[in-house]
Structures are given as C-alpha cells and as structure tokens.
Structure 1
C-alpha cells in the first residue's frame, strides 16, 4: 500500500481521489457555513490545527490546483449576494471559500498537521479497499457500516443544508411563514432523532457509552466545564474562542465568533446538584452580554434546568438558554441550534 506522503508529491494522485470527501468526517467533524457547502480560511485552519497564515501561504503556493477543486474568493456584488443567500454577516470586503473538495485538497498538501496526515492515511486506505475488495466479498458488517455512513450523511445534509434553506425561505416569506416554520421544526426533529439514534448505536457497539455523558459532566470542575463548552463551540465552527476564567469576567466566561460572523458570549454554570438556575444569574449575564458587550449571540449553558423566572428573563433579553438535557445532547454530537 502507498504511504500517505506520496499525496504530497503527486498532483495526479491527488486529483484522482478528490471525490472521497467523506474521509474528512472520519478524522474530525468539519463544520460548514450556513449554506451547507463551504468553509472559510479560519475554519480550514481550525480543522487542521494550523494558523490562518499557514493556510493562506499554502493557497498562495497552490492556488491553481485549489481553484480547480472549487476554492474561490468572493467580493463586491458576488459577496453581497452570497451573504444574503447564506445569512453570513461577515464585514470583510472579500471572503475566501473552500468547498469540501478544496478542504480535502488542502489535507493532501499540508505537511505539518497531524489531522492532515491522518486524512491522507484514511484516504489511501479507503482507495485501496475500493480497488482491491470484490463486491461479492462484502459482508453484513460492511453493509451496516455503509448504512451508518448514509444515515450520518443524511443528518449532515439536514442540519447544514435543508434547515438553513428553510431559514432563508422563512425570512423572505409572508403568506406561508407559519407552514414553513412548522415544516422546519419537523425536519429538526428528524435530525435530532437521527443523532440520538447514532448515539444509541454507538452505546451498543461500545464506542461511546451514552450513560457516561452525564457522569462525565457531573465529574467536571467549573474550570473543566468551561473548557468543555469552549471545545464544543470550536467543534460547531466557532473561531477566536477564548475562555476567560477570571473573577472580573462580568458574568461572561467565554467569548468567540460563530461561523457566520456573529459575536458570541457564553456563561457556564456547572451546577449538577441544583435544580434550577436562579433569575439573578440570568440578570447579571444578560446585562453584561446585552448592555455592556452588546454581543450578537448570548448563550447561558447550565448542567441543570432554568427556573420560570430565569427563563422569562432570558426570553425578554434574547439570551439563549441551554439546559442539562441540551448540554448532554450537545456533548453527544447534536449541533447546537443557535450556532447553525
């Protein structure tokens, strides 16, 4: 079998395997922009654990090849149209976009990245099996694995393409707005059930026992819980994520920027022993997030539920609450709705 390093040297070999973008998700979840098709330079850098400058330098050195894979830079009217269709709120005069094929191409060119190396290993393994394993030798386990990949792809399409499409339709619709909202909720329920279905299957297969999620959260210190939430934000495409962990945080524990450019502020409360979050905590956070920092998206994440008073304050101030059940689902792999 070929070594993964050959992909770094052979443009012909790279072009021959560009269609196998599914290997990206085998190594690490690739969060997409609301259009469900592209990522930015910062998101590519975050996926590979590299700097933005490294990705830009790679694009400079291999631009014709990456453009052939779908890489492009939008500006002017084209950028304005893209922002309107996708819901992105970027304020930059230009925006570089990578489709999944271009991200895979980067993986085959990026030398100093463990993630990129692992993608190349999976890529060559997949190509080798496809070329050497006869169709008639497929066993039931292979079909089960194929079904799982198909289900995961359906879940991905629902969350990253269909739901954002409905968001755009709802924003532009008048007469059928209510029907579209109801249909979007039905689709989100399907996506949520499929995510929990994958979680239960993983439990049965011994990959990620579901019962460990709650116990793991309970065992976290408040510092570990903040780092855990920060990791979930990065997994869902957020950039510039900073954990403050300071006494002078004014109720804001984490700051960052969503994939669509929105500024994000998060308050974390690891209070498994308490029944609800008191209203005073919501008032303090809402004041800091809305009146002082004026962020676009304020998230209050807690390992317990919210009292009626605190939820009322959250609804009034526009704070998005994430309760115990939602934290567990988020930890298990369900994307947080507010970050889509």
Structure 2
C-alpha cells in the first residue's frame, strides 16, 4: 500500500483522490456553513485542531493547488451575494472559503496535525481496498483488462514514488538536470492521464452497479440541484454555488469551468411523463444570456424537452441535458457542454 508520506510529496497523487471527501466525516464530523458546501479558515483550523495561522501559512505556500480544489476568497459583490444566499453574518471585507475538496486537500498537506494524519491513513486504506477488492462481474473483457492494466500502472508509478525519486536525482545532478526535469514532467503527465481513465471507468461501473435511474427518480428538487453541483465539481468546475433561493431568476447553480468560462444551470425535477415547457426555457435563457451573460448555459431536467423548448434552446445557445443524458453524466460520462 502507498505510504502516506507520498501524499505530502506528490501533488499528482493528491489530485487523484480529491473526490473521496467522505473520509473527512468518517474521521471527524466537519461542520459546514449554512450553505452546506463551504467552511471558513477558522472552521478548517478547528477541524484539524491547529491554529488559524497554521492554515493561513499552508494556503500561502500552496495557494494555486488549493484554488484548483475549491479554495476561494470572496470580496465586494461576490461576498455580498454569498452572504445573502447563505444567510451568514460577517462584517469582514473579504472571506476565505474552503470547499470539502479543498479541506481534503489541506489534510494531505498538513503534516503537523494528528487529525490530518488520520485522514491520510483512512484515505489510503480506502484506495487500497478499492483497488484490491475483486469485482464480481460483468464488465466486458476488454474493459476489465484495461482497468487491470491501469491499476497495475498506477500502483507501479505511485507505489514506487517515482516523482520523489526524480526530485532527489535532480537535486544531485548537474550535467543531466534538464533531461531529468523533462522526464519527470513526462511521468507526471502519464500518471495524471492514467488516474483520469481509472476514475472514469470506476464511475461507469458504480453507475451500472447502483442503478443511476432509480437514484435520480427518488431525488427532491433540492437534492437534484446538489447532485448537479457535485457533477460539476467532479468534471473540474470551481466556484460552484447552489442558490436554492426563491429569487434566483431561473438560475439554480452557478460555477466556473476549468478553463475559466462562467456556467449557469437550471434544474427541473419532473416525472418522466412531463416535459420542459417553452416558458421555462424562455425564462432561463433570458436570465442566463441577457441578464447574467454567462458563457455556458445548461438546462438539466429529469424528463424530456418539448419541441418549442428545444427550438428556444437552439436559438439562445442553451445546452439541454435531458433524462437520458443526465443518467449518463451521473454514471461518469463527461458532459459535452462543459468541454
């Protein structure tokens, strides 16, 4: 099994397990802000039983990595909007927020915390069990063979901690330093690609095993919005906010893609016998395109779209995600509208 020190040394390894935020609550209950998604610097410090200054120092040293996993600092209009939507009371001019992924990222970087150490141990135990537990079924032979090869390769690269080895070689090498740096970058690229493939196959297998359709059918409208927000985060979006407010102007979730484009999402939780009406599409298209001027407008529904709604969506550039596409997205398939 991979030693936990590898998490402290390899950003690539940390990135590959950021989705396993459930380990935080299994080690210790993580209190969240009223929005149910974020925590403050003080709350992170309390969870890991360290000082606020220790957390701030960690952010200073790893800001870029933490921002990728969901850390952000709100100020001005963004802060005012967040206070209104979440109901928190604060007189500060700026507010640092950590998503659950960012908190897990902190756990993999914070060396002087017993709680963080326990999170790392639990996280790696779960990864080990996931990779070594036999699969009963059913995946096609070529897909299963690919999965096995990916597992073996990831284990080889991560288990042997190749990147730390190259770090040592680079520090002690003079003549071949440039070549070693380039080779290390190539290995990190291979490692990232293999982890991405492994996660994609895992999502597909979990979707088949658990039955995505029944799970979606049993969701409330609030649960559907949170589910879509989780899918956005899974696919690399940041600044994901679930509004769940009466005055949302038809926009339920906002986010930002990995390449910086703004995203607005409307979610409709209808039975399969109903369809999205043209009036609903008009309201959302107006809010997303005319008012907020977002780059990507997604209308996600647990049903299909009427012909009139489809026509309006095409004219206004709204991407429609119907029941079938939502099931595929939930099972792990990437959403075309976010590419």
Q: TM-score, normalised by structure 1?
A: 0.51
1:242 Cα deviation from its structure 2 partner: 2.0
Alpha-carbon distance in 2 for matches of 1:215, 1:313: 30
Using a 3 Å threshold, how does the CA distance of structure 1 residues 228 and 109 change in structure 2: closer, same or farther?
A: same
The answer to whether the 8 A contact 1:107-1:117 is kept is: no
Q: What are the equivalent positions in structure 2 for 1:148-167 lying under 5 Å apart?
A: 149=151
Alpha-carbon distance in 2 for matches of 1:18, 1:195: 18
Alpha-carbon distance in 1 for matches of 2:254, 2:133: 48
Alpha-carbon distance in 2 for matches of 1:332, 1:234: 14
Unaligned stretches of 5+ in structure 2?
22-37, 45-51, 66-103, 136-143, 156-196
Alpha-carbon distance in 2 for matches of 1:264, 1:113: 38
In structure 1, the partner of 2:255 is 256
SS in 1 for 2:209: coil
Using a 3 Å threshold, how does the CA distance of structure 1 residues 140 and 28 change in structure 2: closer, same or farther?
A: closer
Q: What are the equivalent positions in structure 2 for 1:1-340 lying under 5 Å apart?
A: 4=4, 7=5, 18=10, 21-22=12-13, 24-26=15-17, 28=19, 57-58=57-58, 60=60, 63=61, 107-109=108-110, 118-119=119-120, 146-147=148-149, 149=151, 198=202, 201-202=205-206, 209-210=209-210, 212-340=211-339
Alpha-carbon distance in 2 for matches of 1:122, 1:273: 38
**Total equivalences in the alignment:** 225
**TM-superposition CA deviations, 1:112-154 (whole Å, max 9, x none):** 6978854455559989xxxxxxxxxx9998988633537999x
Alpha-carbon distance in 1 for matches of 2:261, 2:288: 13
Alpha-carbon distance in 1 for matches of 2:115, 2:252: 30
Cα-Cα RMSD: 4.9
Alpha-carbon distance in 2 for matches of 1:306, 1:262: 25
Alpha-carbon distance in 2 for matches of 1:29, 1:57: 24
1:28 Cα deviation from its structure 2 partner: 2.1
Alpha-carbon distance in 2 for matches of 1:139, 1:222: 35
**TM-superposition CA deviations, 1:145-182 (whole Å, max 9, x none):** 633537999xxxxxxxxxxxxxxxxxxxxxxxxxxxxx
The answer to whether the 8 A contact 1:151-1:194 is kept is: no
1:199 Cα deviation from its structure 2 partner: 5.4
The answer to whether the 8 A contact 2:147-2:198 is kept is: no
SS in 1 for 2:263: strand
In structure 1, the partner of 2:176 is none
Alpha-carbon distance in 2 for matches of 1:139, 1:260: 36
SS in 1 for 2:231: helix
The answer to whether the 8 A contact 1:58-1:110 is kept is: no
Unaligned stretches of 5+ in structure 1?
8-12, 31-47, 72-102, 128-137, 154-192
1:261 Cα deviation from its structure 2 partner: 1.8
Which one has more relative contact order, counting CA pairs under 8 Å at least 6 apart?
Answer: 1
Q: TM-score, normalised by structure 2?
A: 0.51
The answer to whether the 8 A contact 1:24-1:119 is kept is: no
The answer to whether the 8 A contact 1:23-1:122 is kept is: no
